[in-house]
């Protein structure tokens, strides 16, 4: 049974590396060739030849597993290079679809284990009906799950590390129960993660060229802005020491960049595309009608 589908549009995870449509290179091949020119000086010093972001589209055909992710320090304790902090930007979903995110009230480790044993852990998790454009920040340690009928764009650290807490007693195609990671999850859960005001983001969704007006989240692992465009929008990246990802959620158009020799390079884009702009990019102009996520790292 297929419980959900994922489209990994930018990935440096070894088993699922993305390829650049322009050159045919994988993202790590591109990074080894361009280094700091692609990544940015401070990011290349921080991450080396590992591209630090994973971006995907997720569509849940059923309630997906309840899970939690470790922070970097705990991940490294168990031999993994990075933990996982992520965010979700909700796309048009089925009426009544829900996101599970954070706790309803403080929880103790003993209460957590008891609720896992008696299969009532979801009773402790906050639930939100999903609307198009809703945003949820999922720092390491926050219990979360995507409900049936949800469609989201997920932006996260380059890590496929997940601790599964509850999976509705489902079986795989061979009739085996999927593995749970109860003890590992217990070690990384934030048991005080219950402040409802911090669980879903409120932001101003307007057409505006200033990223501070449209910022969804900014943390050490990514900054994500929402861009809406009905005509032309210039973007100045000259002061940014980072690559920029433009995830086209809706619409189509072109992006133009002025070369140092005065030439203009233009590229068309459509819904579902991801444009990866190297850190050497100075200024671009977007033309068309679109809704897009603009993602980079500036901390």
The domain that holds 247 is classified in CATH as: 2.60.120.10
Tell whether 161 and 218 lie within a shared domain.
no
Per-residue model confidence (pLDDT) at position 2: 45
Is the predicted pLDDT of residue 208 greater than 50, yes or no? Answer: no
* Residue 216 and residue 112 share a domain: no
pLDDT of 58 > 90? The answer is: yes
Does 203 fall in a domain? no
Q: Confirm whether 288 is domain-assigned.
A: yes
User: How much is the pLDDT for 203?
Assistant: 60
Q: Mean pLDDT over residues 50-68, rounded?
A: 96
Determine the pLDDT at residue 212: 36
Q: Are 185 and 55 found together in one domain?
A: yes
- Dmax (CA) for the chain in angstroms is 67
Range of the domain at 66: 4-198
Q: Is 133 exposed, middle or buried (0-12, 13-18, 19+ CB in 10 A)?
A: middle
User: Is 171 annotated as catalytic?
Assistant: no
pLDDT band for position 204 (50/70/90)?
low
Whether pLDDT at 55 is above 90: yes
> Are 182 and 220 within one domain?
no
Are residues 218 and 144 part of one domain? no
From residue 193, alpha-carbon distances to 95, 103, 184, 248 in Å are 27, 6, 18, 32
Among 198, 233, 261, identify where a domain stops. Answer: 198
Average pLDDT, the chain: 90
**Is the domain of 22 the same as that of 157?**
yes
Residue 74 belongs to a domain: yes
- State pLDDT tens for residues 130-186: 999 999 999 999 999 999 999 999 999 999 999 999 999 988 778 888 889 999 999
On whether both 138 and 283 belong to a single domain, the answer is no
Give per-residue pLDDT as tens, 24-46: 899 999 999 999 999 999 999 99
| 278 and 254 assigned to the same domain | yes
Looking at residues 268-291, what average pLDDT do you find? 94
Report yes or no on 140 lying in a domain: yes
Choose one of 171, 198, 225: the last residue of a domain.
198
Q: Is 265 in the same domain as 230?
A: yes
- pLDDT at 197 (0 to 100): 60
pLDDT number for residue 82: 95
- Residues 145 and 218 occupy one common structural domain: no
**Residue 107 pLDDT > 80, yes or no?**
yes
In a domain, 153, yes or no: yes
Q: Is residue 86 part of a domain?
A: yes
φ/ψ (deg, to 5) at 34: -105, -25
Among the candidates 156, 174, 198, a domain finishes at 198
* Segment 221-239 mean pLDDT: 92
The one catalytic residue in 164, 170, 171, 260 is 164
In terms of domains, do 176 and 248 share one? no
Instruction: Please check the confidence at residue 259 and state whether its pLDDT lies above 70.
Output: no
Residues 161, 216, single domain; the answer is no
Determine, yes or no, domain membership for 149: yes
Q: How many domains does the chain have?
A: 2
Q: What is the mean pLDDT of residues 117-123?
A: 95
pLDDT of residue 209: 44
Please give the Cα distance from 165 to 185 (Å, whole number): 7
The reply to whether 132 falls in a domain is: yes
Closest Cα to residue 296, out of 254, 243, 232?
Answer: 243
pTM of the predicted protein model? 0.92
């Amino acid at each position: 049974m297929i419980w959900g589908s994922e489209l990994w549009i930018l990935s440096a995870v070894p088993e699922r590396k993305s390829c650049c449509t322009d050159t045919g290179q994988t993202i790590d091949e591109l990074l080894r060739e361009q280094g700091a020119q692609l990544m940015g000086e401070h990011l290349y010093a921080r991450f080396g030849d590992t591209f630090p972001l994973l971006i995907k589209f997720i569509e849940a055909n059923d309630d997906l597993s309840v899970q939690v992710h470790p922070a970097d320090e705990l991940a490294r304790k168990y031999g993994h290079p990075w933990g996982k902090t992520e965010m979700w930007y909700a796309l048009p979903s089925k009426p009544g679809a829900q996101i599970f995110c954070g706790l309803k009230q403080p929880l103790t480790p003993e209460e957590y284990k008891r609720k896992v044993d008696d299969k009532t852990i979801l009773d402790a998790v906050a639930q939100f009906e999903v609307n198009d454009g809703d945003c949820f920040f999922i720092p390491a340690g926050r219990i979360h799950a995507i409900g049936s009928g949800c469609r989201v764009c997920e932006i996260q650290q380059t890590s496929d590390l997940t601790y599964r807490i509850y999976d509705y007693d489902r079986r795989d195609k061979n009739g085996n129960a999927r593995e749970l990671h109860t003890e590992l999850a217990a070690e990384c859960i934030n048991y005080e993660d219950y402040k409802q005001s911090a669980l879903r983001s409120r932001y101003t969704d307007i057409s505006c060229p200033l990223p501070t007006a449209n910022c969804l989240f900014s943390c050490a692992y990514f900054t994500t802005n929402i861009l809406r465009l009905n005509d032309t929008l210039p973007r100045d990246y000259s002061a940014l020491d980072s690559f920029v990802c433009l995830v086209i959620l809706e619409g189509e158009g072109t992006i133009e960049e002025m070369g140092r020799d005065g030439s203009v390079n233009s590229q068309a884009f459509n819904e579902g595309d991801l444009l990866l702009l190297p850190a050497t990019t100075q200024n671009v102009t977007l033309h068309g009608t679109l809704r897009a996520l603009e993602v980079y790292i500036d901390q």
